[in-house]
Amino acid sequence: MTHAKAGWLPAILAWFAPSASEAPWSAHDSHRAALEGWHVFEIDGVYELGAISHPAEWFGGDVPPAFGWAVPAHRGSGPVFASDEDAWRHVAERARGGNALHRRALGFLAARAPEEREAIRAAAGF
């Protein structure tokens, strides 16, 4: 099978799948990101991706019961990432690997905060 023929199915599936920028960033996405130590912040209509300084404070000491998850013990006492740039690299690396949450975050930023998305691309290479 030639390379051109081998790629037809993924191309068709990609055509019908919503792009990451079309997928909304939900409260569930925010919670999952926070469990990893990062978040898409919105301040006065401006979106940024950054590290969460104190995860335990973010959750008020506990995770909302609707999610049924616990904050991992190693993430509850201090920051997971030393800087926003470390969080950018983490998200870009996971997105590069195909993780839907991380791809959605970058797509969301590309659509709503292109300057932030380009800064992440420059810092993380993806």
**Tens-place pLDDT, residues 33-68:** 988 889 999 889 899 999 987 665 565 555 444 444
For residue 66, give both structure tokens. 């609707």
Q: Domain map of the chain by residue range?
A: 19-124
Quote the percentage of the chain above a pLDDT of 90. Answer: 44
Question: For residue 79, what is the DSSP state?
Answer: -
For residue 55, give both structure tokens. 């995860």
pTM > 0.85: yes or no: no
How far is residue 101's CA from residue 35's CA, in Å, rounded to a whole number?
12
How far is residue 30's CA from residue 9's CA, in Å, rounded to a whole number?
32
C-beta of residue 43 within 8 angstroms of C-beta of residue 49: no
